[in-house]
Amino acid sequence: MPAEDARRPAVLKVEGSGRSVKRGDVPEEILAAYLTDAARGRSLGFYVDARATRPAFRDRGDRLLADRNDPGPIRAMVAVAAHRGWTTISVRGDKDFSREVWREARRRGIEVRGYAPTRRDLEAEAKRDQTRSKPRHPAPALAKPMTPERRAAIVEAVVAARMLDPERARRLLDAARARMTPIVALARGGRDRTRSADNAARDR
C-alpha cells in the first residue's frame, strides 16, 4: 500500500550513535534477497527483482526510506538497523508503516520514537509472545528398552500365530529359546548385580 504522501517517503532513522551509518552495510541475507542500484543520487536502492522500477527501500546511511508500507521491506529495514547496532530509532510515516516498524523493532530490542503503540498493539504483541514461547511440538516420549524376556514372548506369540504345524512350531521355539537363554541370563545377572550393589549401599 503506498504511503500517505508519495513525495514524502516513510523514514526510519538512527537516533544518537550507532555502530555503523555506512550506506550499504547490511546483513548477508538482505544482499541475497534484493538487487542494489546506487543510481539515485545519495541513496542506495534495494529492488525485489530486475524488473522493479522503484526500490523496495533506500539506504542513505543514517536513515532508511520507503515509498510503500509492505511488511517485507519494513522487516528488512529493521534488520539493517539491528545489523548496524542502532539501539534507538525514530520513525516517520503513516500509521501502518510506523506500527510495523515498532513491531519489528520491539522484537529486536530496539527503542522506537515517533510511534506510540495503542492498547490493541500491546495486546496483540503479548499474544504473539505467548505463542512464540510455547513449544510447537511436544517432546516425544522416550521408549523403554525391550527386555530379553519380552522379546522372547513376542517371538513365541508370532510363531504360534503363524505356524499351522504344532510340531514344527515347537522345534522353532525350542531353537529360539536356546539362543535366547544366554542373553536372558546375562540380562538377569546384570540386574541382580545392580540390586546387590543397591542393597549393599543401603546396608552401609
For residue 108, the one-letter residue type is R
Interval 13-38: pLDDT, tens: 999 877 899 999 999 999 999 999 98
Q: From edge to edge, which strands make up the β-sheet containing 44-47?
A: 35-37, 44-47, 57-59, 63-66, 10-14, 88-92, 111-113
Which of the four pLDDT bands, split at 50, 70 and 90, describes residue 168?
A: confident
Instruction: Give me 17's grid cell.
Output: 550513535
CA atoms within 13 A on the CB side of 195: 6
The pLDDT, as a whole number, for residue 154 is: 74
Interval 95-129: pLDDT, tens: 999 999 999 999 999 999 999 999 999 999 999 88
Q: What angle do CA 158, 162, 164 make, to 5 degrees?
A: 135
Question: Is 91 a residue whose pLDDT tops 90?
Answer: yes
Question: Is 4 a residue whose pLDDT tops 50?
Answer: no
Rounded to an integer, what distance in angstroms lies between the CA atom of residue 85 and that of residue 26?
Answer: 11
pTM as predicted: 0.61
The pLDDT, as a whole number, for residue 170 is: 74
Q: What would you report as the CA-atom Rg of the chain, rounded to the nearest whole angstrom?
A: 34
